[in-house]
Structure formats: structure tokens, C-alpha cells
Amino acid sequence: MFVGIASLILLTLTAVAVGRAQESSAGITGFIPSRVVEERQLEAKLKQVPDAAHAETNLRHLTSEPHMAGTDASRRVAEWLRDQYSSFGFEVQIVTYTAWMPQPREIKLELTEPEEKQLGTPEQPIDVDKDTSDRRAIGAFNSYSPSGDVTAPVVYVNYGTLADYQKLASLGVSVEGKIVVARYGQGYRGIKVKLAEEHKAAGVILYSDPQDDGSEAGTPFPNGPWRPASGIQRGSVIYTELYPGDPLTPGVAATPKATRLSPADAASLPRIPCMPINAQDATAILGNMTGPQAPSAWQGGLPFAYHVGPGNAEVHMRIDVEYKERPIYDVIAKLHGTDDGQWVIFGNHHDAWVYGAADPGSGTASLLEAGRALGELAKSGWKPRRTIVFCEWDGEEEGLLGSTEWVEGNLAELRAKAVAYVNTDVGVNGPNFEASAVPSLKDLVRDVTREVQDPKSGVALHDVWQQHVSDMQKDSASTGRQSPPPDPLGKVPLGSLGSGSDFSPFLDYAGIPSMDMGFSGPYGVYHSIYDDFYWMKHFGDPTFAYHAALAQILGLVALRLDEADILPFNYPVYALEIEHAATDVYTRVANQQDQDKLEATLDAAAHLSASAHRASEALQAISTGPIDPARADQINHALAAVEQDLLAPNGLTGRPWFKHTIYAPGSYDGYAATAIPGENDALRMNDSAMLRHEADSLSAALLRASAQLDNIARMAREAAPSSESGH
């Protein structure tokens, strides 16, 4: 029965208070007091190892040649990474999959009206940066665009969001049979193509507007970090909001024996051609357009008034793409622990559109340093408590291919063994720390940042992070720019996990608790030829000190998760965030019958809060130790499994690959996380039957998680000293 929102919030706050009681300024969450000194000594040794010069050497090698997925260069990077981890003392293998992947044969664009003009201008070489002249770089294209040859008038659709199409409709403008021009930003490029396809456009052109990441944002490269006028953002347009990974093998690993769909039956493949261009070419198209003047919010940074069309501007686009099964190479490195029945997993991808200094090389360079640090500890006599797995994925840029295929191929073992997955991707492109995580692991991220110094100021990174977020929130209040939403408990806020990087298959499909982290800053060369070593050395992280800091953070997270007596999950906080999200959905429903159904969801959320409270209290009672190792193992397996209980066995409506009932990328939001995604999709579609189905699915998941937490409380009570003595 529905307990009422006030009672529900009170119950949660009580549970959170208990969760806070587990924290001790002298101790470490998850560690019994007798092991804290040993852990701090181990962490101190680890922090001494990551080195900026080593990270710089790593990145210089990683960016020595273009290495797009599906090429021999990507294989060479994988082999080098294998050798590096092997030298650190890891057991390493390269796991190969074959995925349906494109490479361009011809990308052609020309203005046909009001005059004929060849477009499709390539990125221009920069004299001071020799890498920008490398002929091995594959020209800019949008991966998974089909081949196509289209001539049609142009319509400007701003960012190409659902709201933008609604605005166009109010202006009486249709894109049917037209080529739409959309600027990059405010959503995943694949969503832009999907919406254009749904609105019956004939093709899509994506461009980088100077207002978003070019000259209007700051000084362009090579004199600054922002996108020059000839810069082009490459990128995949595969529909990862339906499912990521190889488009022909959803739900199974892309091995030689896998049954494959025909490309015509693969729902994640776009059906209309798409290509990216630079601001120079966009000027030639948009500058000739007539029709209604664009709304003021649609005006970008090009030097004329934008019009939506159609009228006056017509273009011809020709795209010829070769599709075939191509190999991808995952590097899996294991530092075996005393207990191989529990895995702490780290990952980043190694493939890049060109050189990928920031994306992903900075993350790879830092992850290597964290691996080297752990290897040094092992060589000095330390034995991990749990097995630590470092993964370097291939094919991430194409659509999370390598990570998805590995998770799909090892699903049962991962669900039995994985404690957590820790991701970094664009590890460093500036000095500002950012992180996202499932709510149960957010405090772990905060705790670790208290142990690492900010390279610039020398104070605790946590304090610099908190001040930066505070400054962003003040700036947002005066300028309207986006900033992180406040944390419900007043702590430094972390984001939620949606999609867009390799944590997605771990969380959304396998139900493995996950986090993602890195340092950000002014970064306008994303997915361009200019994201190279020169850019990083001059703008992203010239001293590589933040690479070393990220390696320290990753290493400390590894030690906290690997060595903990009781894994440091905070489920009262998780319950609080679920309640906020569920209540938000409830307040937006007007139909009484639907509200009645959602009250059952709120009631299930209240049960989850109560169970989280009981589990937290019981774990607090055994936190002083000692704890029987066999009982601790049982408790830890159950703690990690709570996330799996939040999965819907049959997945979300219309998106069965996505099984997480609490977090998933929005159907039309791209990478951004949507909380309570099933119910929110139903509200957007105004589908009461779907809403009731998703409410039932969510309620069942919350009650499964509640039962698991009650089981944890029972096991913890049985492990308490009073239980052993018969009291």
C-alpha cells in the first residue's frame, strides 16, 4: 500500500543518516579498523608510482599514427597495449570479434543552387603540427551512414532535436524529401539522423557551428583549443539508443559462430545518408538559404541571419561506403587475486577516429599508468584480494562494439563475479574533474578525490572539484548555461550514467555497478584530425600532471574496491535518488488510473528504502570486525548483485537490449541518462498501457532489490559477534 510521499522521504532520510554513520574521518568505508593502516600504506605506495613523463610517453606512442577501428593500425595499438600490461605483470590476451563495419570510398558534396560549387572541404593542414598533414588519416565521414546519392533543397533544423522539429511544424515547414542541415551539439548525432529519418528527410548534413565549439567559444586551433573553421567532427550515427555493439548480432557476441541478422533487418542501422562538414562549407549552404528566418535561439555563429528554408539552397550529396565484417581487438589484462571469484574491472577504448589524443588516448595513457602502479605493488609482494581486470576496447567510436561484444559473450561470468566497472574515456582535456556513477558508488568517488592533490593548486582535488561546481552553478544562475544539478544531500554532485561510452553494456545490459571519470576543459577538436599530440601538449595538459592525477584516482579506486572487507556500496543514497525520480514521474501524471498504478511503484520504492536502511544498519554493526571471510564473501556477492535485481528480464518496451529500470539513455536524448526510463518513455508517448506495464516492471525490480538487501541484512546479523556467541 502507498505509504505517502512525506513518510517515504522521512524513511529515506533516516536510512541516509545510518549510511552516513558508517563513514569515519579516521577510517575508510568498507574496511574494518584493524586494516585501515595497512590500506593507507598501500595507497601511499601506489600514489608515488604514476608519473607525468611516463604518461606523456604513453600518449606519444598512442598518437603516432591514425588508428581507426577495423584497420591494421588498431591491431598494432592492441598488440602494443598487450605488451605493456604483460610487462606490468598482468596476464594478457587479445580477444578478437568481427563486426559489420563501414569504411568510406567516396564522400562528395556540392552546392547546386543558386550556383554550382564544390564543397566537402577536407580539414586543412597546420604548418606547426606535422600530424595534420598525414595522408594515412581517413577522410571525415559518419560511420554507419548508408550509401546514397541525393539532390534536394535544404532545410535548417537547428540541433535537430525533437523540440526543434516541433518548432519547425509550428512554422509550417516540412523536411519530407529535403536534405536537413543540423548543427552538432545538444544530443547524440545518431538521434539527429533518426529524427530526420522519422520525418521522411532524404538525407542529413551535420556541421560544427562556431558558436558551439569554434571561434565564438574561444581562440581556435592552432592558437587555442577550439575548433578551426575547417575542423570536422567525425562520428558514428548508429542507433545505440536501440542497442549498441555489432548491428547484426544484438544480444550475442560477434564470434564466427554467431547467427547474424541481414543488414536490412538490423534496427540500429540508419536508412538515410548522412555526412559531416565544417563551418566553411556550412557557410556556403546556410548563407544562401531563404524561407522563414530562424528563431533567435537557432541563430549560430556564422556571419549572417539564419533561415530555415526551404528555398534558394539545393545540394547534391553522394556517399559510397564499403560495408563488410571487420576485426576488432579487445585487450583483456588480469592481475589475479586471492579470490578469482570477484572481479574489479577497469576499461577504456583504444580506437580513435584519427589520432585521438584526448579521445581516447588520454584515458588510455592514464589507465596504463594505473596498471603500472598496481603492477609495481604486486612485484613488491602485494597480492590483490580480488582479481583486477584492465580492458582496452576496440570499436568504441563505431558504437561501443568491443565492450558490448565482450559483455554479451561473458555475461554469466560477469554477473557472477564482477564487483564494479570503472570507465574512463576522454580522460584528460583540461583541469576540471568530472564523474558519473550509480548512486551507490558516488561516495567512493568523493572519498578517493580527498586523497589526491590537484596538480595546479596542491590542495585536495575534492575541494577544487567542489569549488568548480559551485562556480558553474553560480554562472548558470546568471547566464543560463548548464551546470550539474545539486546533490540531494548537499555533496559535490556526480552525474548519472546514460550511454555514449563503454560503461553502457556493463550497467544497462549486465547490471554491473559502474562509474565514469576524467578531467575536462576547453576542447573544440573532438573527433577531428586536430585531436593529436600537439593539441594535448599545448592546450589539454601540457605537463601531463592531470594524466598522472587520473592514474592515481583510478589506482586508488582499484585498491578501495579490491581490498575492502565489505564493499563500499551506499544503498540508502541509491534509494533516495530512485524515490526522487519516481516521485517526479508521479507528479507529471494526470490520469487517476495511471496515478493509482504509479502509487504501487512509490510503495515499492518505500520498501527499497526500508530494506536499504536495515542492511546499512546491520553492516554497520559488523564494521568493527573481524569478519569471517566466507560470510564476507557471501555479503559482498549479494551487495554487487543488487544492481542486477534492478534489471527488467525482458528489457524496456521497444528497446529490449536495455534492461536497467532506473537508468538508460533517453529514446531521443542520445547519451544523456534518463531516470526511470520506461515510465518516462511511456509519458512522452502518452501511452497509458505502456506506462502501466513499465510501472509493473519497475515495481517488481525494486521489490527484488529490496529482497536482496533484506538478505544482506540477515547475513550481516548472522555474522555479528552477538550471533556467534548465541546472544
pLDDT at 342: 98
My answer on whether 375 and 490 are in the same domain is yes
More confident residue, 395 or 18: 395
The residue among 325, 358, 378 that closes a domain is: 325
Q: Give me the mean pLDDT over the 490-498 stretch.
A: 93
Q: Look at residue 710 in the predicted model and tell me its pLDDT.
A: 98
Give the confidence band of 479 by pLDDT, cuts at 50, 70, 90. Answer: low
pLDDT, position 481: 66
Q: Is 396 in the same domain as 483?
A: yes
**pLDDT band at 136, cuts 50/70/90?**
very high
CB 598 within 8 A of CB 467: no
Asked if the model's pLDDT at residue 204 lies above 60, the reply is yes
Q: Is the pLDDT of residue 473 over 90?
A: no
Cα separation of 154 and 114, whole Å? 12
- Pairwise pLDDT comparison (574 vs 13), residue with the higher score: 574
**pLDDT interval class at 20 (50, 70, 90):** very low
Last residue of a domain, one of 270, 292, 325: 325
What is the band of 669 on the pLDDT scale with cuts at 50, 70, 90?
Answer: confident
CA atoms of 23 and 256, how far apart (whole Å): 50
Q: Is 480 a residue whose pLDDT tops 70?
A: no
Q: Could you tell me the three cell numbers for 396?
A: 568504441
Domain boundary among 513, 541, 563: 563
- Residues 228-275: pLDDT tens digits? 999 999 999 999 999 999 999 999 999 999 999 999 999 999 999 999
Do 68 and 147 reside in the same domain of the chain? no
Same domain, yes or no: 585 and 536: no
The pLDDT tens digits of the residues spanning 396-428 come to 999 999 999 999 999 999 999 999 999 999 999
The answer to whether residues 510 and 414 touch, using CB atoms and an 8 Å cutoff, is yes
**Are 508 and 646 found together in one domain?**
no
Of 19-23, 468-472, 693-697, minimum mean pLDDT range? 19-23
pLDDT for residue 589 is more than 80 = yes
Residue 23 pLDDT > 90:
no
Average pLDDT (627-643) is: 96
Tally of structural domains, the chain: 3
Whether residues 116 and 247 share a domain: the answer is yes
CATH number for 522: 3.40.630.10
pLDDT given for residue 594 in this prediction: 83
| Longest distance between any two alpha carbons in the chain, whole Å | 91
pLDDT of residue 8: 44
Q: What pLDDT, on the 0 to 100 scale, is given for residue 233?
A: 98
Residue 19, pLDDT above cutoff 60: no
Percentage of residues in the chain having pLDDT higher than 90? 89
Q: Please indicate, yes or no, if residue 40 is contained in any of the structural domains.
A: no
pLDDT tens by residue, 168-195? 999 999 999 999 999 999 999 999 999 9
pLDDT on residue 384: 98
Q: Is residue 275 part of a domain?
A: yes
Q: How far apart are CA 553 and CA 463, in angstroms?
A: 15
Residues 385 and 629 sit within 8 Å (Cβ to Cβ): no
pLDDT tens string 507-532? 999 999 999 999 999 999 999 999 99
Judge whether 186 lies within some domain. yes
What per-residue confidence (pLDDT) applies to 2?
Answer: 38
- What CATH number corresponds to the domain at position 609? 1.20.930.40
Tell me if 371 is assigned to some domain. Answer: yes
Do 553 and 682 fall into the same domain?
no
Q: For residue 108, what is its C-alpha cell? A: 562528395
Give me the catalytic one of 43, 369, 392, 396: 396
Instruction: Please tell me the least confidently modeled range out of 152-166, 203-217, 664-678.
Output: 664-678
Residue 726, pLDDT > 60, answer no
CATH of the domain at 170: 3.50.30.30
Mean pLDDT of the chain: 94
pLDDT over 90 (residue 478):
no
103, containing H or E segment: strand 91-113
Residues 6+ apart with CB under 8 A from 479: none
The three three-digit cell numbers of residue 28, written as one number? 575508510
At 488, the pLDDT band (50, 70, 90 cuts) reads: confident
The per-residue pLDDT for range 445-463, each reduced to its tens digit, is 999 999 999 999 999 999 9
- Given this model, what pLDDT does residue 346 score? 98
In a domain, 30, yes or no: no
More confident call, 472 vs 542: 542
Strands 274-277 and 314-335: unpaired
In a domain, 34, yes or no: no
**Residue 129, all three cell numbers:** 603540427
279, 121 contact by CB (below 8 A): no
Domain extent at residue 73: 50-98+327-563
Whether the CA torsion 437, 440, 446, 448 is positive or negative: it is negative
DSSP letter string over 311-376?
SS-EEEEEEEEEEEEEEEEEEEEEE--SEEEEEEEEEEE---SS--IIIIIHHHHHHHHHHHHHHH
Kindly report which listed range (14-18, 153-157, 283-287) carries the lowest average pLDDT score.
Answer: 14-18
Task: Indicate whether 112 belongs to any domain.
Answer: yes
Judged against a pLDDT cut of 60, whether residue 277 lies above it is answered with yes
**Is 396 annotated in the active site?**
yes
CA distance to 43, 336, 391, per residue, from 339 (Å): 20, 8, 19
- Same domain? For 422 and 533 the reply is yes
- Same domain for 556 and 599, yes or no, is no
| % of the chain beyond a pLDDT of 70 | 95
Q: Are residues 635 and 534 in the same domain?
A: no
Select from 290, 375, 275, 371 the least CA-distant residue to 331.
371
CA distance 10 to 7: 5
Strands annotated E in 184-285: 203-207, 235-236, 274-277
Looking at the structure, do residues 427 and 299 belong to the same domain, yes or no?
no
Average pLDDT over every residue of 55-67: 98
Q: Give helix 688-719 / helix 571-587 axis angle, nearest 10°.
A: 160
Could you say which DSSP state residue 449 is in? Answer: H
Residues 476, 555, single domain; the answer is yes
Residue 118 belongs to some domain of the structure: yes
DSSP designation for 425: S
> How far is the C-alpha of 331 from the C-alpha of 347, rounded, in Å?
10
At residue 25, the pLDDT reads: 45
